[in-house]
Amino acid sequence: MKFQQQLEQCLTSGGVFLTSGGEGERNVMTMGWGMTGVMWGKPVFLAPVRTTRHTFDLIQKTGCYAVCIPKSDRKKELAVCGSKSGRDTDKFALTGLKALPCRQIDAPAVADCLVIECKVAYQTTLEKSALPADIRERWYQKNDLHTLMIGEIVDEYEL
C-alpha cells in the first residue's frame, strides 16, 4: 500500500472520494470510513457502503471502485459528494471535479488525487443483531446497514 499515511490523514479529517460506475453512469461519493490490509495474500481495501447508496447499486453492476485521496483542500466538494445522491445529480458536473478513466477498472478516477483501484473480491452486509447495542442505536436506527466491500487493490498511482 503506497498511500497509507495520506489515506489515514484524510479519513480522519473530512473523508476521501469513492468513485464507481462505468461509462455514462459515473458517480462519486464521500467516504469517511475504510481500512487497508492483507487478505488471501493480496493487498485489500475494505469500503463500508450502505445499501441505500447509489454507489452501492453501481458497484453491484461493475464489481469495482476507486478510492481517490485529494492532494489539496476539497472540503466543499467532499460536502457536496457526501450529501447529494448520484441518482439525481452528476456530482462531477456539479462540483467541477474532473473525471479521468481508471487504468484497470471500469470506474472514473478524480483528477488531482492519489488513486487506489479495487476489484471487489467479497462483500458482506453487517448483521444488525450481531452489533453492540450502542452502535445499533447510534448508526442503524433506519436499518440501512453497511455492506463491507473487500476490494483487491489492483493499481495505485498519483494523478
Ligand X SMILES: Cc1cc2nc3c(=O)[nH]c(=O)nc-3n(C[C@H](O)[C@H](O)[C@H](O)COP(=O)(O)O)c2cc1C
Q: In the complex, which residues of this chain contact ligand X (CB under 6 A)?
A: 15, 27, 29-33, 48-50, 53-55, 82-87
Of 87 and 138, CB closest to ligand X: 87
Q: If you write DSSP's letter for every residue of 11-72 in order, what string do you get? A: HTTT-EEEEE--TT--EEEEE---EEEEETTEEEEEEEEETTSHHHHHHHHHSEEEEEEESS
| CB of 20 vs ligand X, minimal distance in Å | 8
Q: String of b and e for 23-32 (b: at least 16 CB within 10 Å)?
A: eebbbbbbbe
Of 12 and 72, CB closest to ligand X: 12
| CB of 54 vs ligand X, minimal distance in Å | 3
Of 42 and 50, CB closest to ligand X: 50
| CB of 41 vs ligand X, minimal distance in Å | 26
Three-class SS state of 5: helix
Of 30 and 95, CB closest to ligand X: 30
| CB of 47 vs ligand X, minimal distance in Å | 7
